[in-house]
Amino acid sequence: MKLGLISLMLVLSSTLFAQSLPICKDRAGQVMEPSVTLLKRYVDSNNARRPQVFVEGIIKEVLAEDQNGTPHQKFILSVSGIKVQLVHSLDYGRLPLRVGSQVQVCGEFLNSQGGLIHWTHFDPGGHHPDGFVAINGDVYGQTETR
């Protein structure tokens, strides 16, 4: 009985302290839900016009950082078997990348290199919908860190 009560308390306390995800909106300001269907449509399309995507997946591979221009972290995310590259600007914080981590991403999709998601942070210029990355429930990309 005590073990069950302790387990319940641990679940409730971790739920209470977990960060809630920001709202992901498309270019028209509509609230988005995570969608594998939209991602698949954009991956299969040659004329997707940089749409906003909201997906959930698992980190499959951590790639070398891109140090040309603004530094970016890069990794491969598997979303229901669809592999896309994710590129995150280090100006908005370093992500704790570990293979196997659960990730939610809101960002702009580019149909290049097999599929790429970037703008995974807020846009201080207001030209793109704000994005974010959540890894194991912790949210990144909401503030500029440099």
Q: Please report the pLDDT score of residue 11 as a whole number.
A: 39
pTM for the full predicted model: 0.82
Q: 34 CB contacts (<8 Å, ≥6 apart)?
A: 54, 55, 56, 104
Name the token pair of 111. Answer: 């149909």
Q: Where are the domains of the chain?
A: 21-140
**pLDDT score of 128 more than 90:** no
Which among 81, 63, 67, 77 is positioned nearest to 117, based on CA atoms?
77
Model confidence over 133-146: pLDDT tens digits?
Answer: 999 989 998 876 65
Which tens digits make up the pLDDT trace of 29-43?
999 999 999 999 988
Predicted local distance difference test score (pLDDT) of residue 24: 94
What's the pLDDT score for residue 138? 94
Burial of 54 (0-12, 13-18, 19+ CB in 10 A): buried
Work out the average pLDDT over 55-61: 97
Calculate the dihedral angle through the C-alpha atoms of 22, 36, 119, 64, rounding to the nearest 10 degrees.
Answer: 120
From the number of C-beta atoms within 10 Å of its C-beta (0-12, 13-18, 19+), residue 52 rates as buried
| pLDDT of 85 above 60 | yes
Give the three-class secondary structure for 57: strand
Mean pLDDT of the chain: 85
Task: Provide the CATH topology of domain 21-140.
Answer: OB fold (Dihydrolipoamide Acetyltransferase, E2P) (2.40.50)
Neighbours of 114 (CB within 10 A): 11
